[in-house]
Amino acid sequence: MPTFTFKIRFDPEGQIGHGKVELLEQIAAFGSISAGARRMNMSYKRAWDLVEEMNTIFGKPVLATQKGGRSGGGAQLTPTGLAVVARYRAIERAVEAAAAPHIEALAAEIEGK
């Protein structure tokens, strides 16, 4: 079955898509930018750059971070970060539901070569 992904553009600030949202989900799950980045096979710097891009897009932080130390650092999603994930996933579900008959028709075309 064919699949698709989509991005939401916020010109000129940037865009969000599956990868950035997944990064936020991984950071939330593991409580750390570095752990979230590792789960996605990306460098800490790349993850931080993506987080900074999202901060620019939304005009406020998507993460609250705590510097490392004896008890270790960490990161958690801010209300904005939580909203970004929730809204993106809601849009994703709506798009998938609307596109399902068309994707099925394309799959039938492939099967009926």
Q: What is the pLDDT of residue 110?
A: 85
Q: What is the pLDDT of residue 111?
A: 79
Domain spans, the chain: 7-111
Would you give per-residue pLDDT tens digits along the chain (113 residues)?
Answer: 777 889 999 988 899 999 999 999 999 999 999 999 999 999 999 999 999 999 999 999 999 988 766 666 799 999 999 999 999 999 999 999 999 999 999 888 887 76
Q: What CATH code is assigned to 7-111?
A: 1.10.10.10
Helix 18-30 vs helix 79-111: angle between axes, to the nearest 10 degrees? 130
Q: Judge contact between 53 and 6, C-beta under 8 A.
A: no
Could you list the beta-strand ranges (E) of 12-62: 14-17
Q: What is the pLDDT of residue 25?
A: 98
Element (H, E) at 22: helix 18-30
**DSSP 8-state code for residue 62:** S
Q: What is the pLDDT of residue 70?
A: 61
Q: What is the pLDDT of residue 38?
A: 96
Cis peptide bond upstream of 101, omega within 30: no
